[in-house]
């Protein structure tokens, strides 16, 4: 990020625009939304600009250094490159931040695209990379943010001191969430006074409530792509006080967590004995016991090889409430990446999700069933156990030519798909770097096409 977004307080500040034509007028219109003192300097002005006198001061000559005394910002908007460059130098000499219209390289600050629901203001910038994209985002936000949002926020702002009677944290947040999500918008139809009355009633109701007890949401983070989160997961990430996440949860997903939330990475490996499990249980219990809304974020689906039960038992023992939000497991994402079905009529009527690891090390499975022709198995945490699995399957009659598909970092930008056979599985697994699902019995879609068509026709 080269340009850091900030909101500058322009109340009473002096802003100078060099220019009197269309470019100057465009900036003026934006600046008129603020409470800045605005001066324009140019030999001539559009009548639309002159119409704003006396709100703005017009100086009928080119901008000079003395115009910038005490100024906060200066815009070079003369539509003449040489003149803009001259203003830029004057601005820099005066120590005032300069924006040269349509000249990113020459500007010290840039004005973002703005969605204005004052006091709610959304600023969109692409650092000059994609103005068209900025306009598209703006159009989308304009249509998504109701026009009355500003009115609600303004009335809400006036009520903030009252809302401080509620305990800080979840209780206060729930109050405001109810106001902005439901109570506020429906009251506004009857006018601003109705909104103020609603705030009073809502506050009394929330003050009468017992403080919300802490609880834990086990949220499935999916295989990595933030768009594979459920809507429920998104909402909970947005409300969490504390987020405790595993190593496999992607940065893109952590970026969706509420900004004020405390984020704790517990770095638990997805396999093998984990010394920190009891520490994790203690963390969950302690935070929830203090009344926090805790999100325990687990990769893929929380209920699959996620050691969910150890944690839910600990919470039950401490009398803390919890719920599980299901999600997309990595085997589903891997199959989607391959364009394959995990079950198919005529091929396999069951699907096994298997881990080759347990607390003691390599784990046994129903190898005979896994080795049977047509069987499909999604092997989790299989990288290190590849040779062990291969040995067991061959011992139980599997063909060395059994198809094996491997999907590494499924759904992530670096997703890789690999096709191999049981014979070559250890060799292929040795090359893996990221998390991988090994799909025993699956082959590339194209090779299977004819076979599938024959089977489906039966
Ligand atoms: N609860 C998770 C599984 C946790 S066990 C789920 O439902 O997916 C950790 C194992 O999941 C990893 O060793 C790997 O086998 C698999 N895994 C997790 N994320 C993955 C991804 N993006 N691509 C491929 N495999 C993944």
What CATH number is associated with residue 270?
Answer: 3.40.1010.10
pLDDT for position 185: 84
Which residues, other chains included, contact 14 with Cβ-Cβ below 8 Å and sequence gap of 6+?
Answer: 36, 37, 39, 70, 71, 72
Burial (CB < 10 A; 0-12, 13-18, 19+), residue 168, is: exposed
Q: Is residue 6 part of a domain?
A: no
CB atoms within 10 A of CB 102: 15
Question: Alpha-carbon distance 67 to 342, whole Å?
Answer: 72
Please indicate whether residue 27 is annotated as part of the active site.
no
Q: Is residue 121 part of a domain?
A: no
pLDDT for position 212: 60
Question: Alpha-carbon distance 431 to 440, whole Å?
Answer: 17
Catalytic choice (217, 241, 268, 301): 268
Q: Is residue 143 part of a domain?
A: no
Please indicate whether residue 268 is annotated as part of the active site.
yes
- Same domain, yes or no: 287 and 197: no
- Same domain, yes or no: 319 and 355: no
Residues linked to residue 115 through DSSP beta bridges, in sequence order: 122
Q: Distance from the CA of 444 to the center of ligand 1, in angstroms?
A: 21
Q: At what angle do helices 192-208 and 149-158 cross, to 10 degrees?
A: 60
The separation between CA 65 and the C-alpha centre of its own chain, rounded to angstroms, equals 46
pLDDT in tens, the chain (458 residues): 899 999 999 999 999 999 999 999 999 999 999 999 999 999 999 999 999 999 999 999 999 999 999 999 999 999 999 999 999 999 999 999 999 999 999 999 999 989 999 889 999 999 878 888 988 999 999 888 888 889 999 999 999 999 999 888 778 888 998 898 878 888 888 889 999 999 999 999 888 876 667 889 999 999 999 999 999 999 999 888 899 999 889 999 999 998 889 999 997 554 444 447 899 999 999 999 888 889 999 999 999 999 999 999 999 999 999 999 999 999 999 999 999 999 999 899 899 999 987 777 788 899 999 999 999 999 999 999 999 999 999 999 999 999 999 999 999 999 999 999 999 999 999 999 999 999 999 976 654 444 544 555 54
Question: Alpha-carbon distance 336 to 439, whole Å?
Answer: 12
The domain total for the chain is 4
The residue segments making up the domain with residue 430 are 335-457
Counting from 1 in the atom list of ligand 1, the atom nearest the Cα of 304 is 1
Q: Distance from the CA of 33 to the center of ligand 1, in angstroms?
A: 50
Which residues, other chains included, contact 201 with Cβ-Cβ below 8 Å and sequence gap of 6+?
Answer: none
- Same domain, yes or no: 363 and 297: no
pLDDT for position 275: 41
pLDDT for position 178: 87
- Same domain, yes or no: 280 and 298: yes
């Amino acid at each position: 990020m080269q340009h850091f977004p900030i909101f500058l307080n322009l109340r009473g500040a002096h802003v100078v625009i060099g220019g009197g034509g269309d470019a100057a007028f465009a900036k003026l219109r934006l600046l008129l939304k603020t409470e800045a003192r605005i001066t324009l300097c140019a030999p001539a002005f559009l009548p639309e600009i002159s119409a704003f006198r006396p709100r703005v001061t017009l100086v009928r000559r080119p901008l000079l250094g003395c115009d910038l005394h005490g100024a906060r910002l200066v815009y070079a908007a003369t539509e003449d490159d040489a003149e803009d460059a001259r203003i830029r130098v004057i601005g820099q000499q005066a120590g005032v931040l300069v924006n040269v219209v349509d000249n990113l390289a020459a500007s010290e600050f840039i004005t973002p695209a703005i969605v204005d629901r004052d006091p709610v203001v959304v600023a969109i910038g692409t650092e000059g990379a994609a103005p068209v994209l900025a306009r598209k985002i703006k159009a989308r936000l304009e249509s998504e943010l109701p026009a009355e949002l500003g009115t609600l926020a303004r009335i809400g702002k006036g009520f903030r001191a009252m809302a401080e009677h509620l305990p800080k944290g979840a209780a206060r947040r729930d109050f405001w969430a109810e106001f902005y999500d439901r109570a506020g918008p429906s009251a506004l139809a009857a006018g601003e006074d109705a909104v103020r009355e609603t705030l009073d009633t809502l506050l009394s109701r929330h003050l009468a409530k017992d403080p919300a007890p802490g609880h834990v949401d086990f949220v499935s983070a999916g295989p990595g792509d933030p768009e594979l989160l459920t809507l429920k997961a998104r909402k909970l990430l947005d409300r969490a006080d504390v987020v405790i996440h595993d190593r496999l949860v992607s940065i893109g997903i952590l970026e969706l967590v509420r900004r004020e939330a405390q984020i704790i990475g517990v770095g638990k490996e997805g396999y093998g004995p984990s010394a920190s499990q009891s520490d994790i249980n203690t963390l969950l219990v302690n935070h929830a016991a203090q009344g926090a809304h805790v999100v325990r974020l687990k990769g893929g689906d929380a209920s699959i090889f996620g050691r969910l039960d150890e944690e839910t038992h600990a919470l039950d023992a401490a009398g803390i409430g919890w719920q599980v939000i299901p999600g997309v497991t990595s085997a589903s994402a891997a199959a989607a990446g391959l364009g394959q079905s995990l079950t198919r009529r005529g091929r396999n009527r069951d699907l096994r999700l298997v881990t080759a690891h347990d607390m003691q090390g390599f784990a046994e499975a129903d190898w005979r069933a896994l080795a049977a022709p047509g069987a499909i198995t999604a092997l989790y945490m299989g990288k290190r156990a590849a040779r062990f699995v291969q040995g067991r399957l061959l011992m139980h009659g599997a063909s060395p030519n059994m198809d094996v598909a491997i999907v590494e970092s499924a759904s992530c930008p670096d997703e890789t798909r690999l096709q191999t056979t049981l014979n070559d599985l250890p060799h292929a697994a040795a090359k893996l770097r990221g998390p991988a699902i090994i799909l025993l019995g699956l082959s590339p879609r194209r090779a299977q096409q004819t076979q599938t068509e024959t089977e489906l026709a039966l």
